[in-house]
Structure formats: C-alpha cells, structure tokens
C-alpha cells in the first residue's frame, strides 16, 4: 500500500507539471483527490491494515494529499500568471504612437464670401429667405415688370422646361422678392443667396451657372439713401474701410430709379488694368428703388410703402475678396486652388 501511495505521489507530480491549462489541472485534481479519486480508493482499504500499519500509512496518505494540493496550487498560480502575461503581451497598446490625423477640408471661397455676406446682413437685421431654382417665367420676368417681348428677356435666355416657356431655370434671384412680398407684410428686410442660370459662354468672368444674393427692404419712408448706406456698409465690411464704391445710373425693369454699383479695382486701384479691362472699376451689383408696379402686384400699396432691392454677384465679390483673376477657378474643383483657403 505504501508503494501504491508513493506511485500516486510520483505520477501526480509529473501529470501536474505537464498540465497545459487550468481545465486540465482541474481534471487532475478530480483524478487524484476527488471522492472517487485514486487517493480515496487507497484510503478505503486502510481498514484491512493491521493497527500498527494503519497510522503510518494514514499519515503518509495525508502527507501525500497535502503535497498534491500544494503542487496543484503552485501550478495553478503559474498557469494563471502565464495567461495574464500572454494577454498583456497580446493586448499591448502603445499609447505613444502618433494618432492618425483626419484630413480637414477647407470652405470653398464662394462659401466663405456667402457666409460673410450673410453675417454682415443679419448683423443689420436682415433675415435669409429661400426661393426655388426652377421658377415660373411669370415670377422670373413678367411680375418683375418684364413682360413678354421685353428685350431684357432675350438677354437672359435660359433653360426652359416646357414648350410653352412657362417654367425655367431662374436667371436671377429677384423672383424671391415676389415670393417674400406675397407671403409677408412690411416691414420686410431679407437677403436670398442662391444659384442662377443664364445662356452665357464660359470665360474669365462668365459662367452659365453662378450665384447671386438678392436683397429686399420694404417699409414706410425707405429712400435711395438707405440703399447707399446699406451697400456701402457691405462693401466696407467685406473689403475694408478704404474700399471705394461708385453708384452709376442704370436701368432695370423692376426698379426705378436703378443703378449699378462698382468697386474700385483691387489690382490697379483705379488706374485701369487687365483685371478691370481698363475701367479701374469692377461692377459687382445691380440695385434700385422697387418699382411701384412690382409692389402693387404683390398687394403692397406704393403710396404707403417704398423699398429698395439689390442683386449681388457672389463670384464677383469672391474674386475681388481673394484677388482671383479667373472665375473658372471657382468651378474647376482643383484641389491645389481650393486648399489655399484652409
């Protein structure tokens, strides 16, 4: 029986040393120390021993049980620390590796100027109105005092959707004036930036699609002085206090009187150069006092109310703002150009 016990001690030691994981170890614990384990099987036979042998073998069995328990505990601890070490190694995180930088885009120069204009006008109490790009000829022309057969309709030929020429891509943001005057009562103070379309050949200053920002103020006692003050404020806030403007008499069917506003050329400061085509000035917008017929067409009494309106070319403003000498750069999506506005 002594031999048997020593055999168990030896075998268990070897088996425990070879155990590869906690599950195998648990299997060995059951095999040697469990109720139906090998040690118990031997101890069950203690009764058959003589009274001299029994305590000796009993003590030996207890020592062996304690030995196996100790070996199991040590191996268990070793397995767990090895496991932990492996996890630490596998899941290692180097917090010193530089992060991956996200490429941040830049606002398009047109958008920058658009946002600046909105800021300047909302600062003066204007709100932003929106209108459709697909418009009725009635709004784009007729009710802006530009009836059928009016020569101004030819100059702004555009894309028509229907054979009867009723629906078109708007050629100007001015029809938004009508939508606003139809749906709200004075006092009115709105701007409306957006895309417009014309049958223009592409060159350094023209594109068949471009952007305008319409402005409309209607209230009691509005004068040309309000118009000048507002537009001069726009130009000075955009280009600096020393920016010079020039108001030239002009004709628009929907304003009376009408004017065009030029800003002094940024390239030659009025001397005349390639950018301003020798003029010394660059035209940036059309404006005027809202025609009484346009007001009354929207149910606003022109004897009680007056107003001014303007339409700014946003590309022209952006070109002057950033010294861009060719409008095509704004639409070619060349990243080398666009990333300069970061």
Contact status: 286 vs ligand DAH (CB under 6 A): yes
What is the smallest separation between the CB atom of 295 and ligand DAH, expressed in angstroms? 12
Q: Round to whole Å and give the CA distance between 314 and 1.
A: 105
Contact status: 310 vs ligand DAH (CB under 6 A): yes
Query: In angstroms, how far apart are the furthest CA atoms of the chain?
Result: 135
The CB density around residue 323, as the number of other CB atoms within 10 Å, is 9
Q: Round to whole Å and give the CA distance between 111 and 240.
A: 19
What is the smallest separation between the CB atom of 185 and ligand DAH, expressed in angstroms? 19
Count of residues near ligand DAH by CB under 6 A: 12
Contact status: 306 vs ligand DAH (CB under 6 A): no
Answer for which of 38, 214, 262, 315 binds ligand DAH (CB under 6 A) is: 214
Q: Residue 37 or 288: which CB sits closer to ligand DAH?
A: 288
What is the smallest separation between the CB atom of 317 and ligand DAH, expressed in angstroms? 13
Q: Residue 37 or 131: which CB sits closer to ligand DAH?
A: 131
**Which two tokens mark 325?**
């000498």
What is the smallest separation between the CB atom of 331 and ligand DAH, expressed in angstroms? 19
Is the bond into 187 cis (omega within 30 degrees of 0)?
yes
Answer for which of 32, 139, 252, 266 binds ligand DAH (CB under 6 A) is: 252
Question: Across the chain, where does the E strand assignment appear?
Answer: 127-128, 134-136, 167-169, 188-197, 209-219, 245-252, 255-264, 281-290, 306-313
Burial class (CB in 10 A: 0-12, 13-18, 19+), 164: exposed
Answer for which of 288, 294, 307, 318 binds ligand DAH (CB under 6 A) is: 288
**Which two tokens mark 196?**
């417009």
Site for ligand DAH in 142-181 (CB under 6 A): 172, 174
Q: Residue 28 or 129: which CB sits closer to ligand DAH?
A: 129
Q: Which of 294, 305, 308, 303 is nearest to 178 (CA)?
A: 294
- Residues binding ligand DAH (CB under 6 A): 172, 174, 214, 252, 255, 258, 286-288, 309-311
């Amino acid at each position: 029986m002594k031999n048997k016990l020593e055999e168990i001690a030896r075998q268990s030691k070897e088996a425990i040393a070879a155990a590869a994981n906690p599950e195998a170890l648990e299997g060995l614990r059951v095999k040697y120390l469990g109720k139906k384990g090998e040690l118990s099987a031997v101890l069950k036979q203690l009764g058959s021993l003589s009274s001299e042998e029994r305590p000796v073998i009993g003590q030996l069995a207890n020592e062996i049980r304690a030995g196996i328990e100790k070996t199991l505990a040590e191996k268990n601890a070793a397995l767990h620390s090895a496991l932990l070490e492996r996890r630490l190694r596998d899941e290692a995180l180097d917090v010193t590796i530089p992060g991956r930088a996200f490429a941040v885009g830049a606002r398009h120069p047109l958008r920058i100027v658009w946002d600046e204009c909105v800021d300047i006008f909302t600062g003066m109490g204007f709100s932003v109105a929106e209108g459709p790009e697909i418009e009725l000829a009635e709004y784009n022309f007729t009710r802006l005092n530009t009836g059928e057969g009016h020569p101004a309709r030819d100059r702004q030929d555009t894309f028509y959707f229907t054979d009867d020429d009723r629906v078109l891509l708007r050629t100007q943001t001015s029809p938004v004036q009508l939508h606003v005057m139809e749906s709200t009562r004075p006092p009115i103070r709105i701007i409306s930036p957006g895309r417009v379309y014309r049958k223009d050949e592409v060159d350094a200053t023209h594109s068949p699609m471009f952007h305008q920002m319409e402005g409309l103020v209607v209230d009691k006692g509005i004068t040309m002085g309000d118009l000048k003050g507002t537009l001069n404020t726009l130009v000075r806030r955009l280009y600096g206090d020393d920016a010079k403007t020039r108001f030239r008499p002009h004709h628009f069917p929907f304003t009376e009187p009408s004017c065009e506003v030029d800003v002094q050329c940024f390239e030659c400061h009025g001397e005349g150069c390639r950018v301003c085509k020798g003029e010394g000035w660059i035209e940036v917008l059309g404006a005027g006092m809202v025609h009484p017929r346009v007001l009354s067409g929207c149910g606003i009494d022109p004897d009680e109310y007056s107003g001014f309106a303007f339409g700014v070319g946003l590309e022209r403003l952006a070109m002057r703002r950033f010294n861009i000498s060719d409008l095509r750069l704004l639409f070619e999506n060349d990243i080398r150009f666009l990333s300069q506005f970061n």
